[in-house]
């Protein structure tokens, strides 16, 4: 004799609960947004030089006790390759001193560049900033106060993943017409590449909302 099934019996668990459906939808939306941000970052991660830039701005990164970190050295070596072919371009090295750094990123970059043959008189230090937004704002102050000749022909040098955020913030901070070229440094340190793959989309959103 077969037993009667209760009215609430569901052989496969029935429909998903509303909160589970909402959670799944949220995860799908977040995944789509993350993917779109990665595509945007990748699309802006290339070297694009327009015309003849007049000022190169090298964006800082972590300084280790022995000198520039691998990411920072990648940026500096990329800049050096360009400077060797363009000996007249003015250079701004942008980066302050973090709590875990023994010197400012700007000073470290200055020492590295001059040790590799760049004339120190060509280099101006922006050594107050603690993040990308401040890198840009304090660099623009150098233009406004006459420390660096004001120009709208800029070449930004940084890791490829960083360039999308630089473009976003530079265009937000700059008043008037500007030609912003980019020089993309490789990321030769694999753990940093993996870390930045996940970190940079979040940093981009943070900068879009808060850096003003």
Residue 6 zone, left/alpha/beta (φ > 0; ψ -120 to 50; rest): beta
Rounded distance between C-alpha atoms, residue 78 and residue 45, angstroms: 14
pLDDT in the model for residue 9: 54
pLDDT in the model for residue 4: 58
Does residue 179 contact residue 153 with C-beta atoms inside 8 Å? Answer: yes
Sequence-ordered alpha helix ranges (H) in the chain: 18-43, 70-85, 105-115, 132-144, 163-173, 190-210
Does residue 147 contact residue 163 with C-beta atoms inside 8 Å? Answer: no
pLDDT in the model for residue 150: 82
Rounded distance between C-alpha atoms, residue 92 and residue 100, angstroms: 23
185 phi and psi angles, rounded to 5 deg: -90, 145
pLDDT in the model for residue 3: 57
Rounded distance between C-alpha atoms, residue 134 and residue 140, angstroms: 10
Rounded distance between C-alpha atoms, residue 112 and residue 80, angstroms: 10
Provide the residue-wise pLDDT of the chain in tens; the chain has 212 residues: 555 555 555 555 556 678 888 888 889 989 999 999 999 999 999 999 999 999 999 999 999 999 999 999 999 999 999 999 999 999 999 999 999 999 999 999 999 999 999 999 999 999 999 999 999 999 999 999 999 998 899 999 999 999 999 999 999 999 888 999 999 999 999 999 999 999 999 999 999 999 99
Residue 131 zone, left/alpha/beta (φ > 0; ψ -120 to 50; rest): beta
């Amino acid at each position: 004799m077969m037993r009667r099934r209760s009215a609430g019996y569901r052989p496969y668990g029935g429909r998903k609960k509303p909160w589970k459906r909402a959670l799944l939808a949220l995860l799908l939306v977040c995944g789509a947004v993350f993917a779109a941000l990665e595509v945007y970052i990748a699309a802006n991660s290339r070297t694009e030089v327009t015309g003849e830039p007049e000022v190169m701005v090298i964006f800082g990164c972590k300084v280790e006790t022995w000198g520039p970190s691998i990411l920072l050295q990648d940026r500096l070596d990329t800049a050096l390759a360009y400077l060797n072919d363009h000996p007249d371009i003015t250079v701004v090295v942008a980066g302050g001193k973090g709590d875990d750094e023994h010197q400012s990123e700007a000073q470290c970059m200055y020492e590295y560049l001059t040790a590799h043959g760049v004339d120190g008189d060509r280099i101006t230090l922006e050594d107050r900033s603690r993040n990308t937004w401040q890198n840009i704002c304090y660099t623009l102050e150098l233009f406004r106060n006459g420390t660096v000749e004001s120009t709208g022909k800029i070449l930004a040098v940084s890791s490829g993943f960083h360039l999308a955020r630089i473009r976003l913030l530079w265009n937000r901070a700059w008043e008037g017409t500007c030609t912003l070229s980019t020089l993309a440094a490789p990321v030769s340190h694999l753990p940093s590449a993996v870390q930045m793959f996940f970190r940079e989309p979040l940093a981009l959103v943070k900068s879009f909302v808060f850096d003003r």
